[in-house]
């Protein structure tokens, strides 16, 4: 099979490794089947899409809605690398799954409004599939209403008309959307289960996703509901798009 490509934007190497291992585990992949490029460490080389089955863009601490003059050179370079890759991905309708930061990058690339109206502290949220989402094979085996893990300062407040809303929630109206037939992005984290978010919260406790002096309470809240379905999105993406 052609491998999948995991694009990493986390500067925190321990958490970047954990994200990669989670995608391996939930996707049923070996390390040979999931190549990794760490954009926090190196510029994105030319990606020949025909060499891969699909692309998974991970999350991170960058925000597309940050004022341009406050963005670091690293953030600006990462955003530019991803935007140029998305030019090719969208033109070819190439299989793509963006996770959290991925929804901001794909959304901005496609003309969505990405702002701070719908940020959420780290923890569980009840999400619902739209009518279009209930027809999507990427949700195979999932309920029409499910619990997902979130933690974000920005979100999409308005999708462009050509994008298809797939999942929503009361706190955040755009939890997942699709462009064309094969390009997806989620606001929530299908790569996380409860142990995963607890470990991540300890790494990002000073990043403003919850009050740093309330870490124990925030972890208790994040651990309050079982997370059993959202990981199927990664499995379904892998199974649907594995190419030989």
- pLDDT at residue 209 above 80? yes
In the chain, what are the domains? 4-241 (3.40.50.880)
Q: Place 212 in a pLDDT band, splitting at 50, 70 and 90.
A: confident
Q: Place 210 in a pLDDT band, splitting at 50, 70 and 90.
A: confident
Q: What are the pLDDT digits (tens) for 75-93?
A: 999 999 999 999 999 999 9
The helix-helix angle for 215-222 and 194-203 (nearest 10°) equals 160
Q: Place 159 in a pLDDT band, splitting at 50, 70 and 90.
A: very high
Q: What are the pLDDT digits (tens) for 27-72?
A: 999 999 999 999 999 999 999 999 999 999 999 999 999 999 999 9
- pLDDT at residue 187 above 80? yes
Q: Place 179 in a pLDDT band, splitting at 50, 70 and 90.
A: very high
Q: What are the pLDDT digits (tens) for 223-233?
A: 999 999 999 99
Check if the beta carbon of residue 197 is closer than 8 Å to that of residue 157: no
**pLDDT of 208:** 85
- pLDDT at residue 244 above 80? no
CA distances from 137 to 6, 125, 145 (A): 21, 22, 16
CA distances from 88 to 49, 52, 57, 161 (A): 8, 13, 15, 21
Per-residue tokens: 15: 């958490």
Q: What are the pLDDT digits (tens) for 92-129?
A: 999 999 999 999 999 999 999 999 999 998 999 999 99
């Amino acid at each position: 099979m052609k491998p999948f490509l995991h694009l990493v934007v986390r500067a925190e190497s321990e958490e970047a490794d954990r994200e990669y291992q989670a995608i391996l585990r939930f996707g049923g992949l070996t390390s040979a089947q999931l190549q990794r490029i760490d954009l926090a460490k190196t510029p994105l080389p030319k990606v020949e899409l025909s060499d891969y089955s699909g692309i998974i863009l991970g999350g991170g601490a960058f925000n597309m809605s940050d004022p341009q003059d406050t963005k670091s050179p690293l953030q600006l370079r990462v955003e530019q690398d991803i935007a140029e890759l998305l030019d090719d991905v969208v033109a070819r309708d190439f299989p793509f799954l963006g996770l959290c930061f991925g929804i901001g990058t794909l959304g901005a690339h496609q003309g969505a409004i990405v702002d701070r109206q719908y940020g959420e502290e780290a923890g569980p949220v009840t999400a619902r599939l739209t009518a279009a989402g209930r027809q999507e094979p990427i949700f195979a085996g999932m309920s029409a209403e499910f619990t997902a893990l979130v933690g974000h300062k920005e979100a999409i407040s308005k999708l462009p008309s050509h994008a298809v809303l797939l999942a929503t929630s009361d706190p955040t109206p755009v939890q997942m959307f699709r462009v064309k037939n094969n390009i997806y992005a989620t606001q929530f984290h299908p790569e996380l289960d409860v142990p995963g978010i607890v470990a991540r919260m300890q790494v990002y406790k000073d990043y403003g996703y919850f009050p740093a002096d309330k870490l124990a309470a925030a972890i208790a809240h994040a651990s309050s509901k079982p997370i059993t379905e959202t990981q199927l999105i990664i499995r379904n993406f892998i199974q649907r798009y594995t190419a030989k």
